[in-house]
Amino acid sequence: MSSIIEELVNSLDSKQAAYVNLDLPEPTNGEYLLAVFHMIPGGKLNVLQAAAEIAAESSTGTNFKVNTETPFSRTMNALVYQLDLERDLVWVAYPWRLFDRGGNVQNILTYIVGNILGMKEVAALKLLDVWFPPSMLEQYDGPGFTVDDMRKYLDVYDRPILGTIVKPKMGLTSAEYAEVCYDFWVGGGDFVKNDEPQANQDFCPYEKMVAHVKEAMDKAVKETGKKKVHSFNVSAPDFDTMIERCEMIVNAGFEPGSYAFLIDGITAGWMAVQTIRRRYPNVFLHFHRAGHGAFTRPENPLGFSVLVLSKFARLAGASGIHTGTAGVGKMKGTPEDDVVAAHGIQYLKSDGHFFNQSWAKIMDSDKDAISLVHEDMAHHVILEEDSWRAMKKCCPIVSGGLNPVRLKPFIDVMGNVDFITTMGSGVHAHPGGTQDGARALVQSCEAYLKGIDIHEYSKNHKELAEAIEHFPED
């Protein structure tokens, strides 16, 4: 241990010392949720004292040692187990038995990005990455209906699912709203979503919006011969109303697979996300993250990263979450943040900023468990679907200022096409209107798949040429 570290350890009072173990033998032994914070002390405490106070307040402790502690309560103490003094980083191990049993994301976040974000002892505290042990993955739902199920329904493979958000964001009547859906679908688009504030506004009553969308979808499916999907915002003032909205959609005659439920996960909350996941396991759960910027923007010293938000969305069971346009669109975000977040939720194994997260529910090293299951699968095939093996994938949903001209630049940064893109202005601002906007998007995707530059391809695709003309190529 370096002399600086030794000095820091010796500066701890007895309470703080109970929340530090820089020699923790095996943090990834399965007993802990691991977290890494960017932390700068904000008061008179040094970095290790402040880190210990954070570990205390975000697990079992408070600002003084209390007489009511027990030997068992002390085993639930979170532990500072690693420091990086150059980069102001602190690693904390949380005994996962601290958390509500049966899988509760809201409860975890109340600990690790709860009170501690408000503590005087820190000037900066940002949760940059988390690591879940297989023992925790077992307890959490993870995604039910995935983008692979949506692809099967749409018969769309090996390209992004092409979507839009109806614009103007608000103010259309239900009939006008449905007309825009129809136009996008007959223009060749796959997927339409409500915008994040869509609810039961008097000029667009929820039930009427649902009914009109159904008509528009039936018409578009008939005319195009292609399946279509609509993502309905079911966020609501209370859970009963949320479920009522879901039931309106379920009972409106939509084919299973043709609708998704959108939740404003930050403002409606994690309970809403997990309720929908558990009530409707066979419906695509679309996590919109309006408000996340308060926690994730890089210039904000307090909060959590886009990667952390995305990982918790997968754990909670979101089928897809907005992960940002990696600086290509209108929102703040960098390739490092947005693409790492996207990859972090798509794959079975993903490298985060600090942790390599396997989403397998069985440790690879557990060879006998794995071989037993393979044996079983050989003879009994009782495990048709593979969720026993790992938490299913969560799909990056990419919007924020994208347009047909920016599709390829985004794909180049993303490195794959396994995502849903939803372009609002990028479609509805097209000089030829929504149908042409959809056509331009389809043509831009065709050009990408054929490896043809869009300028070349636009020579005999008018709508794409107009999009190139209209949307700046910054």
Compute the distance between CA of residue 328 and CA of residue 406 in angstroms, rounded to an integer. Answer: 7
CB of 406 vs ligand CAP, minimal distance in Å: 10
Compute the distance between CA of residue 130 and CA of residue 355 in angstroms, rounded to an integer. Answer: 7
Amino acid, single-letter form, for residue 198: Q
Subset of 191-220 contacting ligand CAP (CB under 6 A)? 195-196
Compute the distance between CA of residue 90 and CA of residue 87 in angstroms, rounded to an integer. Answer: 9
Compute the distance between CA of residue 399 and CA of residue 390 in angstroms, rounded to an integer. Answer: 28
Compute the distance between CA of residue 301 and CA of residue 41 in angstroms, rounded to an integer. Answer: 12
Cβ 287 vs Cβ 296: under 8 Å: no
Inter-helix orientation angle 407-414/434-450, to 10°: 50
Closest residue by Cα to residue 263 from 306, 154, 278, 253: 278
324 binds ligand CAP (CB under 6 A): yes
Task: At 461, list the tokens.
Answer: 């695709």
Q: Which is nearer to ligand CAP, 141 or 196 (CB)?
A: 196
Pairing relation of β-strands 420-423 and 395-398?
Answer: parallel
Amino acid, single-letter form, for residue 414: M
Q: Which is nearer to Mg ion, 129 or 195 (CB)?
A: 195
Which strands form 302-304's sheet, in the order they lie side by side? 79-84, 89-95, 32-41, 122-131, 302-304
Nearest 5°: phi and psi at 427? -110, -50
Binding mask 3-32 for ligand CAP (x = CB under 6 A): ------------------------------
CB of 424 vs ligand CAP, minimal distance in Å: 3
423 binds ligand CAP (CB under 6 A): yes
Among 119, 331, 417, 465, binds ligand CAP (CB under 6 A): 331
Q: Which is nearer to ligand CAP, 16 or 323 (CB)?
A: 323
470 binds ligand CAP (CB under 6 A): no
Cβ 141 vs Cβ 316: under 8 Å: yes
Among 129, 424, 434, 438, binds ligand CAP (CB under 6 A): 424
Contact stretch for ligand CAP (CB under 6 A) within 268-276, 297-305, 395-403, 458-466: 395-403
53 binds Mg ion (CB under 5 A): no
| Strand (E) or helix (H) holding 287 | strand 284-288
Contact stretch for ligand CAP (CB under 6 A) within 162-170, 202-210, 221-229, 444-452: 162-170
Residue showing the smallest CB distance to ligand CAP in the complex: 424
Q: Is 167 a catalytic residue?
A: yes
Nearest 5°: phi and psi at 286? -100, 110
Compute the distance between CA of residue 46 and CA of residue 40 in angstroms, rounded to an integer. Answer: 9
Contact stretch for ligand CAP (CB under 6 A) within 1-9, 26-34, 126-134, 417-425: 417-425
417 binds ligand CAP (CB under 6 A): no
Q: Identify any residues that bridge with 57 across adjacent strands, giving them in sequence order.
A: none
Distances (CA, A) of 474 to 306, 391, 406, 441, 471: 24, 38, 9, 18, 9
Catalytic residue among 126, 193, 286, 288: 288
324 is in the binding site of which of ligand CAP, Mg ion, none (Cβ under 5 to 8 A by kind)?
ligand CAP
| Strand (E) or helix (H) holding 174 | helix 174-186
Q: Which is nearer to Mg ion, 52 or 180 (CB)?
A: 180
Binding mask 272-301 for ligand CAP (x = CB under 6 A): -----------------x------------
**What are the DSSP calls for 386-418, one per residue?**
GGGTBPPP-EEEE-SS--GGGHHHHHHHH----
Q: Is 288 a catalytic residue?
A: yes
Subset of 136-155 contacting ligand CAP (CB under 6 A)? none
216 is in the binding site of which of ligand CAP, Mg ion, none (Cβ under 5 to 8 A by kind)?
none
330 binds ligand CAP (CB under 6 A): yes
Amino acid, single-letter form, for residue 294: A
423 is in the binding site of which of Mg ion, ligand CAP, none (Cβ under 5 to 8 A by kind)?
ligand CAP
235 binds ligand CAP (CB under 6 A): no
Contact stretch for ligand CAP (CB under 6 A) within 50-58, 74-82, 257-265, 399-407: 399-407
Among 195, 264, 337, 436, binds Mg ion (CB under 5 A): 195
Q: Which is nearer to ligand CAP, 134 or 293 (CB)?
A: 293
Q: Max Cα separation, the chain?
A: 79
Nearest 5°: phi and psi at 290? -50, 125
Residue showing the smallest CB distance to Mg ion in the complex: 195
Contact stretch for ligand CAP (CB under 6 A) within 84-92, 205-213, 254-262, 323-331: 323-331
- CA 342 to chain CA centroid, Å, is 8
Binding-site ranges for Mg ion (CB under 5 A)? 195-196
Binding site for ligand CAP (CB under 6 A): 165, 167, 169, 195-196, 289, 322, 324, 330-331, 399-401, 423-426
Catalytic positions: 167, 288
